[in-house]
């Protein structure tokens, strides 16, 4: 969430969105404009929120996204592979291949 705490970054996001809106036929309903950061910057540019609300809602939206991602990760059957660990690449590839194989028919 540090990106929203940095005024220069926030200002850069707002300027980027202003340039995108000036050069393209965009709508706030487009999937690309509904992502964290753009949605809040869009409201700021339209005058719906002030700079403090831009920061606060951006941080809150980032936290909510992180929580949803963690919930999703916990709900999946993941096997973590340590890219820096002692497991050789060939052994890791074999483990991945086994996970991708369809289950055996009974």
pLDDT digits (tens, 9 = 90+) for 4-18: 556 666 788 899 999
Confidence (pTM): 0.64
pLDDT of residue 2: 53
Full residue range of the structural domain in which residue 45 is found: 2-75
Q: What is the per-residue pLDDT for 100?
A: 85
> For residue 13, what are the contacts with CB-CB under 8 A and spacing of at least 6?
37, 38, 41
Is residue 102 situated within a structural domain?
A: no
- Domain contains 23: yes
| Residue 51 located in a structural domain | yes
What letter does residue 103 receive in the DSSP assignment?
Answer: P
Indicate the number of domains in the chain: 1
Residue 16 within any structural domain of the chain: yes
On whether residue 68 sits in a domain, the answer given is yes
CATH, residue 31:
1.10.287.890
Whether 62 is covered by a domain: the verdict is yes
Helical packing angle, 7-23 and 51-75, nearest 10°: 90
Which pLDDT band, with edges at 50, 70 and 90, does 97 fall under?
Answer: confident
């Amino acid at each position: 969430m540090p990106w929203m705490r940095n005024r220069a970054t926030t200002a850069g996001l707002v300027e980027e969105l202003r340039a995108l809106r000036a050069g393209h036929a965009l709508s706030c309903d487009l999937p690309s404009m509904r992502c964290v950061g753009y949605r809040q910057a869009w409201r700021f540019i339209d005058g719906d929120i002030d700079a403090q609300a831009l920061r606060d809602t951006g941080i809150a939206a980032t936290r909510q996204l992180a929580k949803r991602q963690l919930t999703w990760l916990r709900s999946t059957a993941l096997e973590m592979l340590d890219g820096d660990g002692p497991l050789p690449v060939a052994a890791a590839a074999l483990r991945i291949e086994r996970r991708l194989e369809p289950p055996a028919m009974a």
